[in-house]
């Protein structure tokens, strides 16, 4: 075959091949949105928050992972599903509650759960107590608080007591959330202390 | 005036063919200003191509005995009037009706102008000028449309055509009539050239993918301005300019030239399907190859379809018909694919955004505030690639976390660009498939007739 016939097709092949080769070498074909990670594989949770906010964030993130894993979906898909405002299914509520309880166990097991004394100041700042009572509680030594209250116990009781369906419905209303969570945590603290006293008697 | 006659007639041809894709970059503006739907606004593009594709051949047959200068002058006048009507249209229905009339005028003008250019330049050069003007118009249409939309408004696209077209009317009337068309039993009437016309139709469908989808990706997906998109897609006409010198240097047989051109268009579209990032620079090489392919194929195929075939104007109209119906077929095939892919891209994009927000190194309250703002914004912009900046602006943040928030915004924009780019991938692949089909039409040997 003559050069006249071959030259242009060869040039076209080289141009197209070079272009596609360079593009593939630089990631062409993989320029796609981030794939959701497998929620059943543990991932490190870091938080820029402090105190109760940090604890809540870590519990929610681990809890979401655990719930998504048991529902065989991604953490992101479950979050979007819950955030879109529709009523959650029984399976989602149950998985979320189990997930949060597992999160408490996991954090307790790996020692990342803060002692109760570390949360007292933050809790008192957020609570609407009279000044005298607040000062009295702040005066209690940390060692006394930590021996009387175990964080994992309080959290487990609060999670079991909270109506998660209502909590999810109130997720856009900070005041309604506080009104729901504070009594549940207070009750959990009370129950935990009573149990502790009973065990001492 | 006499010196300006032929250029003005060539400009009229270029204007008519530029109108095929000139509104592409203005569609988002038209959608907004005429308060219409995506489906309706697509008809601003479709109606012109469909009507031009359908009336080109009947016009050539019906007006075979008309005087070309009168035909051209009437066609250009109708085109100018309807262009002005497009510019003042205040509803989508009126704009689509005006576009249909513009296409009818365009068909009359193209048929008349071909004969006038042959009278002025002779058979070979006249046809070559008519074809070249068409290629220049087709290739530069989207660029001109984008720049005019950005600089003025979408109405300017149509308004600027009016004075050029008005000047072309006396230019057409100034050309003396050529010899009357041959008639009678000795008059050879050739069949339409199926292969070049079919290749032209398939290539036009593929080129629709290149121009229409690329500008949509640049403007709606990557959120560039129409002017930036116009400059970016100007690589196609620049690439087309390189085709003639290359063909003159290598002097390949016509079939080889067309085959290589089809392959380059397919390769360029394949390149657009495999973009490694949302940087404009990555679109340059694929577009250059598409432009080169366009330059090697369209005029060569048009010459093959018209050369030495009688009646000349009828065969030239078949090429117009093939090209514009090819555009319509391309849009009909590709629009449902990319609209469905854009819808499908929404879920992975939202999940990627959710993952990044959940894992962002920001205080929990900032994440909650941002998630709430993003949620409201995404609900408001269903079906379109959203601009997330407003959600970040609305999120209160500690100055110490400002840098992390800015980084998160950049990451989320990157995810949106990834989702949009990915959503166009299948359409570009289908476009490449259409160009390969055109290549197949060129390389498959003709069936031998039994003697």
Residue B15, pLDDT > 80, answer yes
- What is the tens place of the pLDDT at every residue in B20-71? 888 888 888 888 888 888 778 889 999 999 999 999 999 988 887 788 889 9
State the DSSP string of A97-134.
HHHHHHHHHHHHHTT-SPPHHHHHHHHHHHS---HHHH
Instruction: Provide the domain count of chain A.
Output: 1
Share of chain A above pLDDT 90, in %: 27
Residue B391, pLDDT > 60, answer yes
Q: Which residues of B160-199 are buried (b: 16+ CB within 10 A; e: fewer)?
A: bbbebbebbbebbbbbeeeeebeeeeeeeeeebbebbbbb
Among partner residues B264, B348, B363, which is closest to A53 by beta-carbon distance?
B363
Residues B210-223, mean pLDDT to the nearest whole number: 84
The secondary structure element, H or E, covering residue B32 is: helix B27-33
Share of chain B above pLDDT 90, in %: 41
Share of chain B above pLDDT 70, in %: 94
Asked if A13 lies within 8 A of B253 by C-beta distance, the reply is no
Give the C-alpha separation, B3 to B216, whole Å.
Answer: 40
A27 within a domain of the structure (yes/no):
no
Chain A residues with CB-CB distance to B354 below 8 A: 76, 79-80
Residue B187, pLDDT > 60, answer no
Give the C-alpha separation, B132 to A1, whole Å.
Answer: 31
A14 within a domain of the structure (yes/no):
no
Asked if A7 lies within 8 A of B422 by C-beta distance, the reply is no
Residue B100, pLDDT > 90, answer yes
* Of residues A30 and B188, more confidently modeled: A30
Per the CB < 8 A criterion, the answer to whether A10 and B263 are in contact is no
**How many residues are recorded in chain B?**
451
Residue B12: predicted pLDDT: 93
Chain A residues with CB-CB distance to B268 below 8 A: 16, 19
- What is the tens place of the pLDDT at every residue in B113-131? 988 998 888 888 888 898 8
Among partner residues B256, B257, B348, which is closest to A33 by beta-carbon distance?
B348
ipTM rounded to 2 decimals: 0.86
Residue B376: predicted pLDDT: 77
Question: Distance, in angstroms, between B230 CA and closest chain A CA?
Answer: 23
- pLDDT range class, residue B267, cuts 50, 70, 90: very high
- What is the tens place of the pLDDT at every residue in A26-70? 999 889 888 888 999 988 877 777 777 888 888 889 999 999 999
Give the C-alpha separation, A118 to B92, whole Å.
Answer: 65
State the DSSP string of B121-179.
H-HHHHHHHHHHHHHHHHHHHHHHHHHHHHHT-HHHHHHTHHHHHHHHHHHHHTSPP-P
State the DSSP string of B231-286.
HHHTHHHHHHHTHHHHHHHH---HHHHHHHHHHHHHHHHHHHHT-SSS-GGGGHHH
DSSP label of A33 = P
Residues B385-413, mean pLDDT to the nearest whole number: 87
Residue A201, pLDDT > 70, answer no
* Of residues B300 and B308, more confidently modeled: B300
Residue B382, pLDDT > 70, answer no
Provide φ and ψ at A167, rounded to 5°: -60, -45
Indicate where chain B has its CATH 1.20.1250.20 domain(s). Answer: 1-175
Chain B: residue nearest A54 by CA?
B364
Give the C-alpha separation, B195 to B301, whole Å.
Answer: 9
A33 within a domain of the structure (yes/no):
no
Residue B43 token pair: 């008809």
Q: In angstroms, how far is CA B323 from the centroid of its own chain?
A: 11
* CATH homologous superfamily, domain B1-175: MFS general substrate transporter like domains (1.20.1250.20)
- pLDDT range class, residue B381, cuts 50, 70, 90: low
Interface list for chain A against chain B, based on CB atoms closer than 8 Å: 4-5, 7-9, 11-13, 15-16, 19-20, 22-24, 26-29, 31-34, 36-37, 46-49, 53-54, 56-57, 61, 64, 74-77, 79-80, 83, 172
Question: Distance, in angstroms, between B156 CA and closest chain A CA?
Answer: 37
Q: Which domain holds residue A56?
A: 51-200
A6 within a domain of the structure (yes/no):
no
A183 within a domain of the structure (yes/no):
yes
Chain B residues with CB-CB distance to A80 below 8 A: 350-351, 354
The pLDDT mean for chain B works out to 87
Residue B350: predicted pLDDT: 87
Q: Among residues A96, A63, A64, A104, which one has the least CA distance to residue A192?
A: A104
Chain B residues with CB-CB distance to A85 below 8 A: none
Question: Distance, in angstroms, between A56 CA and closest chain B CA?
Answer: 9
Residue A119: predicted pLDDT: 76
* Residue A87 burial (CB count, 10 A): 10
Give the C-alpha separation, B441 to B438, whole Å.
Answer: 5
Q: Give residues with Cβ within 8 angstroms of B273, minimum separation 6.
A: B424, B425, B426, B428, B429, B432
Residue B184, pLDDT > 80, answer no
- What is the tens place of the pLDDT at every residue in A94-128? 999 999 999 999 988 888 888 888 777 777 776 66
Residue A200, pLDDT > 70, answer no
A17 within a domain of the structure (yes/no):
no
* Of residues B349 and B187, more confidently modeled: B349
- What is the tens place of the pLDDT at every residue in B138-172? 888 888 888 899 899 999 999 999 999 889 999 98
Residue B436, pLDDT > 90, answer yes
Question: Distance, in angstroms, between A121 CA and closest chain B CA?
Answer: 19
Residue B185, pLDDT > 60, answer no
Residue B151 token pair: 């600089």
Asked if A32 lies within 8 A of B422 by C-beta distance, the reply is yes
Question: Distance, in angstroms, between A175 CA and closest chain B CA?
Answer: 14
Residue A184, pLDDT > 90, answer no
């Amino acid at each position: 075959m003559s050069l006249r016939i071959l030259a242009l097709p060869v040039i076209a092949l080289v141009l197209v091949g070079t272009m596609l080769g360079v593009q593939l070498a630089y990631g062409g074909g993989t320029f796609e949105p981030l794939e959701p990670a497998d929620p059943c594989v543990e991932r490190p949770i870091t938080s820029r928050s402090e105190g109760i906010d940090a604890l809540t964030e870590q519990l929610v993130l681990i809890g979401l992972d655990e719930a998504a894993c048991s529902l065989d979906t991604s953490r992101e898909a479950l979050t979007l599903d819950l955030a879109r405002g529709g009523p959650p299914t029984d399976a989602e509520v149950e998985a979320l509650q189990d997930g949060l309880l597992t999160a408490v166990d996991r954090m307790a097991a790996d020692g990342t759960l803060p002692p109760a004394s570390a949360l007292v100041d933050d809790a008192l700042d957020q609570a609407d107590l009279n000044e005298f009572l607040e000062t009295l509680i702040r005066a209690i030594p940390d060692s006394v608080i930590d021996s009387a209250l175990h964080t994992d116990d309080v959290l487990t009781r609060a999670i079991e007591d909270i109506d998660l369906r209502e909590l999810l419905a109130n997720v856009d209303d900070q005041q309604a959330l506080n009104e729901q969570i504070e009594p549940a945590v207070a009750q959990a603290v009370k129950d935990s202390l009573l149990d502790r006293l009973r065990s001492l008697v | 005036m006499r010196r300006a006659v032929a250029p003005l007639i060539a400009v009229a041809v270029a204007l008519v063919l530029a109108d095929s894709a000139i509104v592409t970059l203005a569609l988002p503006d038209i959608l907004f200003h005429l308060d219409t739907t995506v489906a309706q606004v697509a008809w601003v593009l479709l109606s012109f191509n469909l009507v031009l594709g359908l009336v080109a051949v009947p016009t050539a047959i019906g007006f075979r005995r008309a005087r070309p200068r009168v035909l051209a002058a009437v066609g250009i006048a109708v085109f100018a009037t309807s262009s002005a009507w497009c510019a003042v249209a205040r509803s989508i229905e009126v704009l689509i009706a005006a576009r249909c009339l513009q296409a009818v005028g365009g068909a009359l003008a193209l048929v008349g102008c071909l004969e006038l250019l042959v009278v002025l330049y002779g058979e070979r050069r006249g046809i070559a000028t008519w074809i070249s003007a068409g290629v220049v118009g087709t290739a530069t249409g989207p660029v001109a449309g984008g720049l005019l939309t950005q600089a003025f408004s979408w109405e300017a696209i149509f308004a600027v055509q009016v004075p050029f077209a008005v000047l072309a009317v006396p230019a057409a009337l100034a050309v003396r009539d050529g010899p009357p068309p041959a008639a009678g039993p000795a008059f050879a009437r050739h069949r339409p050239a199926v292969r070049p016309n079919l290749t032209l139709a398939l290539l036009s469908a593929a080129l629709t993918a290149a121009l229409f989808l690329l500008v949509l990706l640049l403007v709606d997906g990557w959120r560039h301005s129409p002017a930036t998109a116009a400059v970016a897609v100007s690589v196609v006409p620049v690439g087309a300019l390189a085709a003639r010198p290359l063909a003159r240097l290598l002097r390949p047989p016509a079939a080889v030239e067309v085959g290589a051109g089809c392959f380059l268009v397919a390769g360029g579209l394949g390149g657009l399907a495999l973009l490694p990032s949302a940087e404009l620079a990555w679109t340059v090489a694929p577009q250059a190859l598409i432009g080169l392919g366009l330059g090697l194929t369209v005029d060569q195929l048009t010459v093959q379809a018209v050369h030495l075939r009688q009646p000349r104007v009828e065969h030239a109209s078949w090429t117009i018909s093939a090209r514009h119906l090819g555009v319509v077929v391309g849009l009909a095939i590709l629009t449902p694919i990319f609209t469905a892919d854009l819808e499908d891209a929404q879920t992975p994009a939202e999940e990627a955004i959710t993952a990044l927000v959940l894992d962002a190194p920001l205080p929990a309250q900032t994440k909650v505030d941002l998630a709430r703002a993003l949620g409201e914004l995404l609900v408001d912009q269903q079906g379109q690639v959203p601009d997330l900046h407003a959600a970040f602006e609305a999120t209160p943040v500690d100055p110490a976390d400002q840098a992390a928030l800015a980084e998160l915004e950049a990451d989320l924009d990157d995810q949106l660009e990834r989702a949009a780019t990915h959503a166009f991938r299948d359409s570009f692949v289908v476009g490449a498939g259409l160009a390969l089909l055109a290549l197949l039409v060129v390389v498959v040997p003709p069936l031998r007739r039994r003697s």
